[in-house]
Amino acid sequence: MKEIPTETIQTIIRKVFSNAEVESCQKLGSDFAHLHYDLHLSNPEMGLTLKVYLRPTEKREPWKETYILKRVAGETGVPVPQVLLFDDSGQLLDGPYAVHTRLPGRSLGAVLPEMAEEDTEVVGYEMGRYLARLHVMSGERYGDYFVADPLASPHERDYTLARVGSWLKECADNHLINPSVVETLRRTCERADFLDQEKPCLVHGDYHEGKVNVEEGAVGYHVTGISGFEQSQAWSREWDMVQLFGRVFDRYPRLQEGFLNGYTESVELSERFWDRLRLYQLAAAIFQVQYGHHIGDADLTKSYQERLLRLSAVG
């Protein structure tokens, strides 16, 4: 997508604040799905984020994120961007866009290398505590929010096997995973006797250090907010942990220690937590293999094919 003219951004902002002036506008980068602008306003003096959704899909991610952000802000106390405007009319931009309040601080992923170990533990604790607050929000059935989900089910096992089965089929149909590995993965999931979470919870869907903002205060770093709720749905707690365990937690063990302490203050982990986590790590790798193929990202597909083999070997 081409640069959005400053005049257009000014018009968008005046839908929220009629007398505002956009003093500065910085494009923060884009990917295949989003375009972000960091805005500084006068009258009122404040910072905002303009988020442009480039590829709305059948899962209606732009509408879903807006719905979830409002719900989380109203029900959990978890700090998230406030939705000031959502527009899908197509009048000013071709696709939907939103104006969000800006979270203070910087991405945890950018800050971690400069943090002291004791700070990582504190931040991990807050990450765990906030995720637990999200997970306290339950639903009546497993599946996507806000849109019809043909795989939805009241039971964790049925939904998880159906979801993983659909990803494995796509991988098999497109020759992304060796057929023998596909069958091994299918049997591993079907034999799992611990998919028994009683009720689904709200999962962020893409919870990792890049979605968590932190800021340094008088006594160290603290979490200022969580963003990026496009992939939210009703599923299992461990689905929100697969991008932390075996990744950033391996490099920052005090971050993991703090996370588990903060999380378990509010939500009790399953007795089979580590078995469940490994299964969901397998599921996430299967998803990423087919997802990389779907969006034409060969590097993503290859990296998760290799990760899937490593995870399978561990089992």
Angle between helices 179-191 and 273-295 (to 10 degrees): 140
- Report d(CA 204, CA 227) in Å as an integer: 9
Upper half-sphere CA count for residue 202 (Cβ side, 13 Å): 24
Average pLDDT over residues 263-274: 96
- The structural domains of the chain, ordered by start, are 6-101 (3.30.200.20), 106-314 (3.90.1200.10)
**Nearest in space to 26 (alpha carbons), one of 8, 55, 3:** 3
Angle between helices 273-295 and 156-173 (to 10 degrees): 40
Is the link from the previous residue into 44 a cis peptide, with omega within 30 of 0? Answer: yes
Can you give the pLDDT at residue 6? 92
Tell how far CA 190 is from the center of its chain: 26
Statement: residue 227 has pLDDT above 70:
yes
Statement: residue 224 has pLDDT above 80:
yes
Can you give the pLDDT at residue 189? 96
Can you give the pLDDT at residue 147? 84
**Nearest in space to 278 (alpha carbons), one of 188, 190, 215:** 188
- Report d(CA 44, CA 41) in Å as an integer: 6
- Report d(CA 291, CA 57) in Å as an integer: 13
- Give the model confidence (pLDDT) of 20-67 as tens digits: 999 999 998 656 678 899 999 999 999 999 999 987 677 788 999 999
- Give the model confidence (pLDDT) of 84-96 as tens digits: 999 999 999 988 9
Do 249 and 256 touch, CB atoms closer than 8 A?
A: yes
- Give the model confidence (pLDDT) of 276-302 as tens digits: 999 999 999 999 999 999 889 999 999
Edge-to-edge strand ranges of the sheet holding 212-217: 106-107, 212-217, 220-226
Average pLDDT of the chain to the nearest whole number: 94
Upper half-sphere CA count for residue 45 (Cβ side, 13 Å): 0
pLDDT band with cut points at 50, 70 and 90 for residue 312: confident
Total residue length of the chain: 315
Beta bridge partners of 235: 201
